[in-house]
């Protein structure tokens, strides 16, 4: 049996254990039944974000953004494209810094868009500024341990 990987459900916040060889089989949350890694970018609340950053073994790339930010809006389609390309090996999510300013303060975000890559409970890489999908994918592939 493959070693289990911890993944936080973006819908209900439950931490699930998923066998590493089953990531591509479309695992669902054992609590709420939501898909765990379908290649879609999810908007997170601060509690779910904190839990995922702390617990997830699967690489997690967070986009700190705001609706008024032109570069943030410009990068959004590329971020979604990268999420589809990287699934199921990594997950991408967003947090709105305008709705949750304390989260950006806590993570020392000085400018947006800011991308923070987390794996196994620690920050692995940080990038400030809008980048195309290929560079988002390279940021994850070059800095995270993919299953």
Taking only the tens place, the pLDDT of each residue in 68-81 is 999 999 999 999 99
Domain range spanning residue 63? 39-143
Q: Give Cβ neighbours of residue 84 (< 8 Å, ≥ 6 apart).
A: 39, 40
**Number of structural domains found in the chain:** 1
Residue 10 lies in a domain: no
Among 140, 16, 123, residue whose Cα is nearest residue 81: 140
Residue 3 lies in a domain: no
The CATH code of the domain that includes 86 is: 3.40.30.10
Q: What would the mean pLDDT of 57-71 be, rounded to a whole number?
A: 96
Residue 14 lies in a domain: no
Token couple for 8: 């936080």
Mean of the per-residue pLDDT values for the chain?
94
Residue 114 lies in a domain: yes
Residue 33 has pLDDT above 80, yes or no: yes
Element (H, E) at 46: helix 46-55
Residue 7 lies in a domain: no
Between β-strands 60-65 and 91-96, what pairing exists: parallel, antiparallel or unpaired?
A: parallel
Residue 113 lies in a domain: yes
Catalytic residues: 69, 72
Q: What is the pTM of this model?
A: 0.94
In the chain, DSSP assigns E strands to: 4-8, 15-19, 42-43, 60-65, 91-96, 114-119, 122-128
Task: Give, in order, the Cα–Cα distances in Å from 47 to each of 4, 26, 62, 100, 109.
Answer: 23, 24, 14, 11, 18
pLDDT digits (tens, 9 = 90+) for 119-142: 999 999 999 999 999 999 999 999
> Can you tell me whether residue 120 is helix, strand or coil?
coil
CA contacts within 13 A on the Cβ side of 133 = 11
Token couple for 102: 């304390």
């Amino acid at each position: 049996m493959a070693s289990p990987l911890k993944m936080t459900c973006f819908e209900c916040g439950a931490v699930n254990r998923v066998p590493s060889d089953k990531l591509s089989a479309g695992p669902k949350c054992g609590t709420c039944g939501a898909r765990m890694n379908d290649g879609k970018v999810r908007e997170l609340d601060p509690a779910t974000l904190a839990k995922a950053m702390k617990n997830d073994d699967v690489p997690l790339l967070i986009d700190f953004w705001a609706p008024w930010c032109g570069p943030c809006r410009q990068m959004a389609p590329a971020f979604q494209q990268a999420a589809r390309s990287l699934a199921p090996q990594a997950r991408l999510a967003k947090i709105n810094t305008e709705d949750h300013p304390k989260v950006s303060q806590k993570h020392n975000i000085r400018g947006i868009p800011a991308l923070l890559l987390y794996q196994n409970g620690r920050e692995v890489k940080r990038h400030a500024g809008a980048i195309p999908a290929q560079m988002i994918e390279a940021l994850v592939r070059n800095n995270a341990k993919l299953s």
